[in-house]
Amino acid sequence: MANSQFNKKGRQAMATFSQRMGIIPMEKAIQSESIDEALRNAIWNAIDISIIAQYYIRDLKSYNLTVEIRDLFVKSWIELLKNTFDTAPPVQHLKTAGAWGVWRRIVTDGDWNKVYDLVDFIVRASPDEIKANFQSELNDALKRENSAYRCIDYQLVRVTDPIEIEAIETAISKGSVEMREHFNQALRLLSDRNSPDYRNSIKESISAVESVCKAISKSPSATLNDALRLIKKSGEIHPAFEQSIIKLFAYTSDAGGIRHGLAEGATPPSYADAKFMLVSCSAFCSYLLTQAA
């Protein structure tokens, strides 16, 4: 959209005088379970520029979009905020009142998790015409203000390392539909703030690797080990990489009941375990696909 170039070039974070002089830190601490005022303002600006401003474009081409954005608010009012349809406030030009005022109060005054509930809902339910631009604007804001969260494939995920984010995004953007679905499901299970399922997230991550290996080896019925051996014979994988993924697969068979029942006294997998597997399997799939190409 027209705003994208301005946003990327005109609002880049740069060191202030106080930062250059060492009066305040160059970077603040990563915000994991809190949101400071600067991050709240950055999130609101992403919503305002990418979504609300688009509502007020008054031309024939954008008429349907304005209706969709109005409906997006009503949907959030009913499904996210659990209110009744007949009590939905009207959309007004004044952004501190009416529909937009509801969103603004959540972002500026709500608990940190409620802010992310709203952001996550908006990025998933936004009209296709603005969804990608909103995700980009939002990620710029989250990165600039050191949030621990990013939007990946229109889901809000707790991943803070840019290399980790790139590994997951790259894997999701290439490969088979089956592989992408495994990774998308792994992301959903990992990032579900109400009831995260780390065991099944890990299972989905390793299943993505298995599906890629079967596809590259052209052996849909092969086990992971057999598929890897075939790939190794073609020279597309180093033996050390082969052994590393075999060991990861063995880990999912033995640890924390990931692929089998949870044994008595076994420690269930943690968020760190599930994130490591998602990032590692994403990178490994991208590596295999690049080698095969």
Clarify whether residues 185 and 109 are in a common domain. no
Report pLDDT for 24.
57
Looking at the fold, whether 173 and 153 belong to one and the same domain comes out as: no
130 and 197 inside one domain: no
Q: Which residue, 152, 157, 189, is CA-closest to 170?
A: 152
Which of 159, 194, 214 lies at the terminal end of a domain, its last residue?
A: 159
The whole-number pLDDT of residue 165 equals 74
Q: Full-prediction pTM beyond 0.85?
A: no
* Rounded Cα gap, residues 101 and 105, in angstroms: 6
Burial group, residue 136, by CB count within 10 angstroms (0-12, 13-18, 19+): middle
127-136 per-position pLDDT tens digit: 988 999 999 9
Decide: 191 and 156 in contact? Cβ < 8 Å.
yes
Dmax over Cα atoms in the chain, in whole Å?
Answer: 66
Q: Which amino acid is at 216?
A: I
- Look at residue 10 in the predicted model and tell me its pLDDT: 39
pLDDT of residue 257: 47
- Identify whether residues 143 and 187 lie together within a single domain: no
Considering the domain architecture, whether residues 204 and 147 belong to the same structural domain is answered as no
Count of domains for the chain: 2
Alpha-carbon gap, residue 159 to 101, rounded angstroms = 30
Q: Are residues 229 and 260 in the same domain?
A: yes
Residues 96 and 223 in one domain: no
pLDDT tens-digit profile of 60-92?
455 667 888 889 999 999 999 999 999 999 887
How many C-beta neighbours within 10 Å does residue 289 have? Answer: 19
The rounded distance, in Å, linking the Cα atoms of 210 and 249 is 9
Residues 45 and 177 in one domain: no
Q: Which of 159, 183, 209 represents a domain boundary (last residue)?
A: 159
pLDDT of residue 119 exceeding 80, the answer is: yes
Q: Give me the domain span that covers residue 199.
A: 168-292
Pick the last residue of a domain from 159, 177, 203. 159
- My answer on whether 278 and 198 are in the same domain is yes
